[in-house]
Each structure stands twice: as C-alpha cells, then as structure tokens.
Structure 1
Amino acid sequence: MFTPRKGIAASTRVTLLPAVVAALALLTTACAEDKAPAGPPPPTLDRYYQQTLAWGSCDGYQGGAELGAAGLECARVTVPIDYGNPDGDTGRIALSRLRAAGKRVASLLTNPGGPGAPGLDLPLALAKSPVAERFDLIGMDVRGLGASTPHVTCRTAAEFETGQRVLGRTDPLVEIDQIEEENEEYANSCARRTGLTLLGHVGTVDVARDMDVVRAALGEQKLTYFGGSYGTRLGSTYAELFPDRVRAMVLDAPVDPTTNISDPVITAAGFQRAFDAYAADCAKSPDCPLGTDPAKASEKYRALVKPLIQQPISTADRRKLDYGAVTTATIASLYHPASWPGLTRGLTELARGHGEALLGDAGVYEDASSDEVHRAVLCLEEVRVTDRAVATDIDRRSRTAAPAFDDGLPGSAAPLDACAFWPVPPTAQPHVPHVAGLPKLVVVAVTGDPATPYPGGVSLAKTLGASLITYEGTQHGAAFEGIACVDEPVLKYLVDLTPPAEGLRCSKP
C-alpha cells in the first residue's frame, strides 16, 4: 500500500545434473573408503512431504470462532524454517478448509496478498462465489504471522500503538536523523525479538516452498492456486520453482515481477489516478466535500487534511486523527469504489471537525503481526535504498506523481527507511522470470488498479505466457467479485483447464 513519506529483491537456484551428482558421490565414496566411517545421511525433506493433515476444529486459531461458525475446518502443517537445513528449527503453517459444496475438482490454495495479509478467512470471502461449488477452498496464514508459528516480532503491543512514525506514517515535523534512528532501532528490534534465522526466511521463495509442502499434504499431485495482489508474486515464484507441479493458477491484481513489490513512484501514481476517479464521482453531488470541480479536488483535499499535521483532531474515545491516519484511511478507501461513499462521509465529517469515521478506516491495516511480516518481506526482496540522495529523489518523484498526498512541507532530504538498516541480506530481487514447461495460467488485471497498476499485469502475463483478462474499471482486483465476464471464464479454466479467449477485455454492464 502506498503511503507518502514512508518511514521505516533475482532468485538464484543452482541445480546439478543427476549424472554429475552420481559421479561426485562415487568419487567421494572412493576417497573415503580407507578413512573414517561415513557420517549420517544428508537431511531430506521427506518427512515434511509425507505429512497427513489432521483437520478439525478451528478453536484456538486466530479468528477461529468465525471460521468454525461458517463450517470451516483447520489444521497445521510442519515446515523447516530454513529449507537448506531441514533438520533445524521448524515452523507450523496454519490452514483452513471450506469443503466444496458440489462435485469436487480439487483443492484450491488461496492467498489474499500483502505481503503479510492473514489468509485463513479468505475462503469465507469466496464462499458465495462459483468457485466454492467445485473446489475445497484452502486458506493459509503464511509463515511468521496469524495462527502460524513462530511469529515475526519487532515490537510489543504498546510499542505498536505508539510507534506510528516507524509504521510508515512518518511525522513530517520530525528531524530526519531522528526518523533514521527509529528505523534503525526498529530493524535491530526485529532481529533481537524474531531471530536472524526466521527473519531471513520469511520471503517469497520460502513461502512458495511451504506451498508445495501444503500441496503434498493436501494429497494433490499438482497445485491449483488463486492469488491476489502480492499473492501473484507467490504464484509466479512457485511456478519458477515447481513448473511441473502446477495444474492451474489464477493471478488477480498482479504484481509486476520486474519491479519492487511496492514501488513507491508507481503506486503513488496509481493511487492518484484512483483519487482522481473518486473525485470525479464525488463531484457529481453538490455536497461533495472536495467540491464539484474534479480538477481542483487534490488542492481541496490538501487544504482539508494539512491542518492535521499541526493540530490532530481528538475523538470521543480519546484517540487522535492526525495527518498520517487520514491519509491511510483515504488510501484504504481508494482500493474499491464500494468504499467511496464511506470516504465521502468521513471527509464531510472532517470538514466539520470530527474524525471518528476516518479513524475507523485508518485501522484497517494496523495489525502488528501483518505489518511486521510485510516489512520483513519487502526488506528481503526489494532493491534497498541506502543513499539519502536516492531516497530524496524517490520522495520527490512520488510527490509529483501523487499531488493529493503531498504534505507540501519543505525539506532538502528524505530519510532512509528501515530496510537500509536491515540485519539480514536480500534473498531475492525483481527479475524477469524464465520458466519452461508451465501449463497455461490466467492473469486478471484491472485498467485502473491503484495498488498494482495495469502494465504490471501485462508484464506478468507476457513473461509467464499466460492468458490475460483485462477488466476496465478502478479497483484492486476483479476475480470472484460477481463480475460475470471475469468469473465465468476463470471458473471454466479452473474446472476444465480451458483458457479464456486471447485478448479478453470486458467491463461491468
């Protein structure tokens, strides 16, 4: 998610041909015959791949009461924290299952994105979609968060509540050196409280390998997968690692594999376009808090929210609506037009000196576990900025791309975020995937997607040789939202592997 003044990656795999491995093994054996006895056999992943899931009550799982009431079952699967050391520490990945309502095709593993979005409840969101009739819907809390263990932990609950600058809602009035000190302390705290082993193995490659263990535990020879947003990066990474184990994949609201997961300039431009679309819709009403001229909406919005930098609004429950909170709430509301009326009500209240409605929306993304996994993954996989001059240039270009969210305060430099001080090296970087032997995949991209702009979907479809469904609209993702021209071809593909027509493009009637 794009936030202004944010405070706070190519995989390489080497594979030896079997003949070379055999020759090396023979050579090693010959040299060792007259020496010490052979040691224990090398560790393997067999015990992980041979697990049987014990589905049962969701009691004791995060959100378990709601899951159980809706008829879901839960289970956990054991995985190595470090796949390079399978005899080392292990983790437990939490899963949920909603059984197919009709004639079952397969298990459909799902991921809602993030990085770091809890996934156990995603089957609930898909329960009324056509895919629930033919597939067991599998939710998953990825390693490090939610009902999975162990957790990535960087702050206590109290520190989370008070550490808004480190959360990415940087106070524009704080000195740069202080912000960087906080960001460095945040990174060091993650290392102390999480441990370097887990902190270095919460990235996309490790989660993709977990997904393959889950596939085997589900009894599926090949993976059927639906991923949204960052979940598309998980899907494309799985496809790179295990192309022969893919049955079908639908990648909705896709992340461009050649860019950072959350490129600040690209996403700034995306959310400005969504803001402009919202403003044009709002301007149809004479009561729009941003006025009836969409061309002046950014200016009106800045005039409305900038006073909060100096003077936050106190609410009845003693919380404060500050500049960062209202920006977060606005951005959260721009993900989908269904949230636009709520944003209008919140901005109208703000104009009258009240902040309760916007504070409710600002809390949507404020979950410590999710936030910390989110940051850990980005720090492991995005191109790190360790030069203030580069950070300043990115900040300048982001402000230009999204004038609505420019606080307008003067500043000669921008601070380095937490990733500049991250205590473990990158484990992946943006790259062009080169995958041979993949079946046909399906990519769904929205022309006005604010968080994962449309060109990224075109790029992903091209690199994977996937079919591209283009939906004309302004929202984040389009699959399984009741849009027939998207859902019907997607379901047909998932059920009988018939890809949609090439160049399919549609819009809501």
Structure 2
Amino acid sequence: MPTRPALRRCALVALVALGLTGCVAPKHQASSPTPGVSASATGDPALSRYYDQVLEWTTCGDEQCADATVPLDWSEPGGETITIALRRVPASGGSPVGSLLVNPGGPGRSAVDTVGFFRQVVSRDVLAVYDMVAFDPRGVQHSTPITCVDPPELDALTAWVPDWSTDEGIAEAVARNGELGQACLERTGPLLGHVDTASAARDMDVLRAVLGDEALTFLGFSYGTDLGATYAALFPERVGRLVLDGALDPTLDSGEVAAGQAAGFESALRAYVTDCQAGPQCPLDGDADKGLAQIGQMFDRIRANPLPTGTDRELTVSLAFSGVAAPLYTQSSWPLLTQALTGAIDKGDGSVLLQLADSYYGRQPDGTYSSNQNEAFSSIMCLDDRPSADPADMRADAAEVQAVAPTVGEFFSYGGAGCAAWPVPAVGALESYEAQGAAPIVVIGTTNDPATPYAWAQSLSELLSSAVLLTYEGEGHTAYGRSNQCVKSAVDTYLLTGEAPADGTTC
C-alpha cells in the first residue's frame, strides 16, 4: 500500500495469478440463520430485512456463491440497498463448527477472486471444520462495485509522473485526482460516499448473522486487519476468533502511514540488495549502500528518459517503482527483481519491470484489468482519511520521509494531493479501537514487513484491549501460510480451540 496520488494498493501477494469460475445453477439449500443471532439480536426492527435474510447459494465450480443484501447507507437502513458477494468453500469434514470469513487486504482486493489462494494458505485442519467464506467488501469487484475509468485511462494514471517541485505541479496533481474522483462519482453514484471501512465492518456483522454464527471468526491480511479491528471496536461482544496478520494501525494519520511504509520498503529493499549481492549475477555491485544508490540512480535515469519495453508502452519512473515494490512483498519473488533490475540497469530494457508493475496493478496482457481494485483503493482511502494538501505541509512531510527512506521516499510523498478534490466528504476513523469485552484477538507482525511495518502490529496489539502479539522474525508481507511451522501451529491452535498464543510469542 505505498501511498501517493497515483494509484497504489497493499496487495497480499502481488504476483498471484487470479482466476474465477462463474456461478451457475443449480441452487443449494441455504443454511438458515441460527435463532437469536439475527434481527432479534440487533434490537432494531428496521434491520431485520438484512439480519433475517436467507442466502441462496449457487454452485461456483467446486464452491458455492451467494449475494447478501446490506444498506447502502447504514444511517438509513430503510433506503437503497447494495449487495455483498460471497464465495464459500464448504468444510471438508462435512460438519462445520461455523464460518471463517477471509479478506486479503487492499483495500480493494477481491477475496472472491483469491479464494484459491486462501485454500492454499489456510491449513487443512482448519478447512476441515470451518466453512471458509470469502467476501468482497462494498465497492469491490463482485459486490456492488466502484466504477471510474476505462483501461486506457487507468494506464495513463499508473504511468503518470507528477511534478512535485512547484506549486503548479502540485495543483495539477490535485486537479487530476479530482477528475478521477468525479469520474468515479458519475459512474458509481451515491455508493462512492459509503465505501468507508466502518460501513464495510457493519456489513460483516450481517454476514456473521446470515451465516448462522453467534460470533465472528475472521482471518484478515493487511488492510483486512483494519476491517477486523474496526469490527471488534463496533461489535466487541460478537468477536469470536480474529486473526489480524500484517497489521495496520487505524489511528495513524496518512503522513505517519507514508513515513512508516517508506521506511518499511527501504528496509526490505536493503535486505533484498544484501541477498542479491551475496549471490551470482547480481547487477548491483559493492556493499548494500552502494547497491541502493544504484537503484536510486536507475530511478533518476528513468525519470529523465523512460525505458523501452518492447511494447507501445514506455516504463516511466512511476511504473519502475511499482515494478521494484511488487517483488518485495514476498521473499520468494526476489529473483524476479534481480531479473528486472538486470534488464533495466545493464541493458536499458524496462520490459520485466513493466511486467511486474502490471502484475501489481492487475493489468492483463490484453490491456484490461482483472478487477476494480485500483479504483476501489482510492475511493476507500479517500473516505477513511483526508490528509492536508497544503504544499508547505506536504513538503515538510516529504522531507521527513526522504530522511528515513532516501531511495524510495519520493514515491510515498505528497499523498494529500490524492484526496484533496475528492467529490464526497471523508468519513474518518472511529474514536476508539479498544474493543472492551472482546474475546482474545491474535495480531501478527513480521519484523521486516515492507507494507505494514512491524511497529504497527505492536501498536495495534496495544490498541485492542484483548489482543495478543505474535511475531514472525523474517521478510515479506504477512506471515500465516508462508512463514514457518511456529506461526502456523499458533494460528491453527487458536482457530481450532480458541487458545491464543502467549502475548509476545516470537517465531
């Protein structure tokens, strides 16, 4: 989730290939809501149309699909409605103890499209006893979606290189992002003002009820931890077993987020450079400081002269950074970064960096995009936080970011220009995330996570009154399902028995 006006997102695994099998008949009998956990539990008769609904499941390949109905505006539950898309993997053991909701982050990433990824990440023992249910939050892909621009316009936005050196350049960035917001409003309508995280968390409580669960069991990665923490703050008495991996601190302002992420990606890039230089055929010579300087010099050259890619698209410096950032999400992708840097630095060829950037944004070879994740990201972020767009404030923040991240800091600066002219008002964060009375919540942090720095996991575990912190000492974004047996065993034990690991456990 590198933050700046050009579209960015915090993908769980940036290089996952996505696929979706369409939902077709026949219908399956829906599970009836458990008595006492739906409308009657809310104390509000106006909400009964949502909490008492019965889902109609259809076959989707090896899985089941359904749409749930929720209010467009939670302050007016009797008004317009939208749909939330669900994709369910029935418990392999045949007798589920409940549902495990999953979300891959973003904001804007489709869980429905990544259900295959979750089938690989979540352990077989957990899948045996839970119905795993992927859902797309409001505004995302298969739910009632945010729609903004056509693919060529999105190409132009992702390749665009703003000029932050003058007030005129900043004003142009504000105006251009305002035009994007206006296009979103024209194509999406009133939904654009209601895709905030708090509304999405309220939707999750409807899903809990209509799936028949008295308490929510949830696995959220990256931005999914924000959803989970917000749910816990709104509905502490309905918290079951929540795993929040790759944690965000929802109380940080956008400047603090930018500085934290810039430092995180700088640290991850340093770790990559050190690893690269220890192996054969690394395009970066000298020590880690010199290697980082060479990457910075590459960015400078590309800014002045975009690289050819063997296509009709040039590699701009914005795309080059996206191509560098994508493999840093998971250590297994580092060899791809070496291949990309070798092409760019040694041969003046931007083709591999462009491929990595396209993967980052979900751009397909035919020029279409696999989802609306980029537009949804901007729409959700601009509702949740509205940073200062004053040039003096942004320049001061940029100087601080550059100090902690001299190689990549520029790409995390001037984020206020992204939302300054957004056409709907911000909603903002909650006043408190203590979630007093909630059952134990497991927060996971990776010590050199580039996208969600470890310090955020520490602070989120302190914010949530019942949280315990599980630490993975390693590289990459998130830990469960990709790190080691220690993390896997701790999470599986918690999901299967409710026994949380001891606070401060390190793997």
- TM-score, L = length of structure 2: 0.84
Q: Which residue of 1 aligns with 2:213?
A: 220
Q: Which residue of 2 aligns with 1:504?
A: 505
Cα deviation per residue 1:467-499 (whole Å; 9 max; x = unaligned)?
111110121110122521001111111111111
Cα deviation per residue 1:136-186 (whole Å; 9 max; x = unaligned)?
11111111121111x2122233322223366xx536689333222212222
Question: Is residue 116 of structure 1 aligned with residue 117 of structure 2?
Answer: no
1:260 aligns with one of 253, 259, 273:
253
Q: Distance in 1 between matches of 2:173 and 2:386?
A: 20
SS where residue 92 of structure 1 aligns? strand
Q: Distance in 2 between matches of 1:289 and 1:165?
A: 25
Q: Distance in 2 between matches of 1:5 and 1:74?
A: 35
Q: Distance in 1 between matches of 2:452 and 2:187?
A: 32
Compared with structure 1, are the counterparts of its residues 277 and 213 closer, same or farther at alpha carbon in structure 2 (3 Å cutoff)? same
Matches within 5 A, 1:293-372: 293-351=287-345, 352-366=347-361, 367=369, 369-372=372-375
In the TM superposition, residue 4 of structure 1 has moved relative to its aligned partner by 6.4
Compared with structure 1, are the counterparts of its residues 486 and 291 closer, same or farther at alpha carbon in structure 2 (3 Å cutoff)? same
Compared with structure 1, are the counterparts of its residues 288 and 393 closer, same or farther at alpha carbon in structure 2 (3 Å cutoff)? same
Q: Distance in 2 between matches of 1:77 and 1:210?
A: 9
Compared with structure 1, are the counterparts of its residues 202 and 316 closer, same or farther at alpha carbon in structure 2 (3 Å cutoff)? same
2:96 aligns with one of 104, 125, 150:
104
Letter in 2 for 1:358: L
Structure 2 contact 7–157 (Cα < 8 Å) conserved: no
Question: Is residue 86 of structure 1 aligned with residue 81 of structure 2?
Answer: no
Q: Which residue of 2 aligns with 1:55?
A: 57
SS where residue 452 of structure 2 aligns? coil
Cα deviation per residue 1:86-140 (whole Å; 9 max; x = unaligned)?
2221111111011122253321001111111111134311223323232211111
Q: Percent identity?
A: 38
Q: Which residue of 2 aligns with 1:246?
A: 239
Gaps of 5+ in 1: 9-41, 59-67
Q: Which residue of 1 aligns with 2:11?
A: none
Q: Which residue of 1 aligns with 2:484?
A: 483
Q: Which residue of 2 aligns with 1:423?
A: 423
Q: How many residues align?
A: 454
Cα deviation per residue 1:313-348 (whole Å; 9 max; x = unaligned)?
222232221211110011111111111110001101
Structure 1 contact 165–179 (Cα < 8 Å) conserved: no
Question: Is residue 187 of structure 1 aligned with residue 189 of structure 2?
Answer: no
Matches within 5 A, 1:140-159: 140-149=135-144, 151-159=145-153
Compared with structure 1, are the counterparts of its residues 184 and 308 closer, same or farther at alpha carbon in structure 2 (3 Å cutoff)? same
Compared with structure 1, are the counterparts of its residues 406 and 51 closer, same or farther at alpha carbon in structure 2 (3 Å cutoff)? closer
Q: Which residue of 1 aligns with 2:26?
A: none
SS where residue 82 of structure 1 aligns? coil
Q: Distance in 1 between matches of 2:277 and 2:4?
A: 25
- TM-score, L = length of structure 1: 0.84
Structure 1 contact 446–475 (Cα < 8 Å) conserved: yes
Q: Distance in 1 between matches of 2:450 and 2:306?
A: 27
Letter in 2 for 1:246: V
Q: Which residue of 2 aligns with 1:170?
A: 162
Letter in 1 for 2:453: P
Q: Runs (4+) of structure 1 moved beyond 6 Å?
A: none
Which structure: larger Rg?
A: 1
In the TM superposition, residue 428 of structure 1 has moved relative to its aligned partner by 1.9
In the TM superposition, residue 237 of structure 1 has moved relative to its aligned partner by 0.6
Question: Is residue 458 of structure 1 aligned with residue 450 of structure 2?
Answer: no
RMSD after superposition: 2.3
Structure 2 contact 174–419 (Cα < 8 Å) conserved: no
Q: Distance in 2 between matches of 1:143 and 1:403?
A: 37
Q: Distance in 1 between matches of 2:352 and 2:159?
A: 22
Question: Is residue 391 of structure 1 aligned with residue 394 of structure 2?
Answer: yes
Bigger shift: residues 103-112 or 42-51: 42-51
Q: Which residue of 1 aligns with 2:439?
A: 439
Structure 1 contact 186–418 (Cα < 8 Å) conserved: no
Q: Distance in 2 between matches of 1:450 and 1:415?
A: 18
